[in-house]
Amino acid sequence: MEFTKWQGCGNDFVVVDFLDKEPIDFAALAVKMCDRHFGIGADGLMVVCPSETADVRMREFNPDGTEPEMCGNGIRCFARYLYDYGRVAKEQFTIETIAGTMVPRIILSDGDVTAVEVDMGVPVLEGEKIPVAGFGAERIIAQPLTVDSTVYKMTCVSMGNPHCVIFVDDAESFPLLELGAQFENHPAFPRKINTEFVEVKSRTHARMRVWERGAGITLACGTGTCATLTAGVLNNVLDRAAEIEVDGGVIHVAWHENGHIFMTGPAEPVFTGEWQGTL
């Protein structure tokens, strides 16, 4: 089985193309391929599938085999794969995901791909839709959340997948490894949660670190940067366009007046190969 490996700000993915193949047990394949000691090593497996509603369908699987609704860095890498390998013949196209139809645009300079912009749609802010227990249709802005006997102020957003944004004084020193899983598995979040720990540097610059559902600490999270900007605007600490600095680089996010979030960042090939492992 041929594969390609990609990274966006250090968030890395394996892409396999099943546009013309019968599906297999992708969850089991993800567990093996994403293993950093016995497999290829990645934050997720992306599968190219046919779609009846868009140009292509994207399926993604975490290293533990779970299937999240969306992945921002992943969809940029996925989009560039489609463009580079001729699976689409245009610079702007549609991708079906569990979270809905996303619209990436390949950004070129002198014929070379320099970045990928994605219309990530409109952020979901109602508690019951994110979901967060006990909030109904209420927006969750700077609400208390107790983790390990400490009360944090959470702002929650769904970008097709659930996010909890916590503003902190120092993102670098926050004990992410010790507390990340406690946020992910907190009973307030019935479908678990991705958690961003954000230090605001200025109204157009924030430092973000992330713990992702099913993956743990990653170098970047595209949907997390979108959630961070949304939370920053709702808390009046960020402008509607800002650079979100993650462990692996910088992603530009803008919340347009039509309500849509646009995310722009890198998507780079790492290597290609042939998988000879078994399920």
Summarised one tens digit per residue, pLDDT across range 80-89 is 999 999 999 9
Answer whether 3's CB lies under 8 Å from 30's CB.
no
Report the candidate in 99, 111, 88 with the shortest Cα–Cα distance to residue 60: 99
Predicted pLDDT of residue 86? 97
Partners of 199 in beta bridges: 207
| CATH-assigned architecture of domain 127-259 | Roll (3.10)
Q: Where are the domains of the chain?
A: 2-121+265-274, 127-259
- State the average pLDDT over residues 45-62: 97
- Give the Cβ contact number of residue 177 at 10 Å: 10
Helix (H) or strand (E) segment spanning residue 194: strand 194-202
Phi, psi of 72, rounded to the nearest 5 degrees: -70, -50
Catalytic residue among 77, 156, 164, 221: 221
Task: Write out the H or E segment, with its range, that includes residue 167.
Answer: strand 162-167
pLDDT tens for 197-233 read 999 999 999 999 999 999 999 999 999 999 999 999 9
- Identical fold for domains 2-121+265-274 and 127-259, yes or no, is yes
* pLDDT of 278 over the 80 cut: no
DSSP assignment letter at 128: G
Query: What CATH class has 2-121+265-274?
Result: alpha beta
pTM of the model: 0.91
Q: What is the pLDDT of residues 157-184, one digit of tens each?
A: 999 999 999 999 999 999 999 999 999 9
Name the catalytic one among 71, 77, 156, 226: 71
User: In whole angstroms, what is the distance from residue 114 CA to residue 230 CA?
Assistant: 25
**Cα gap 25→105, rounded to integer Å:** 30
Residue 71 is among the residues annotated as catalytic for this protein: yes
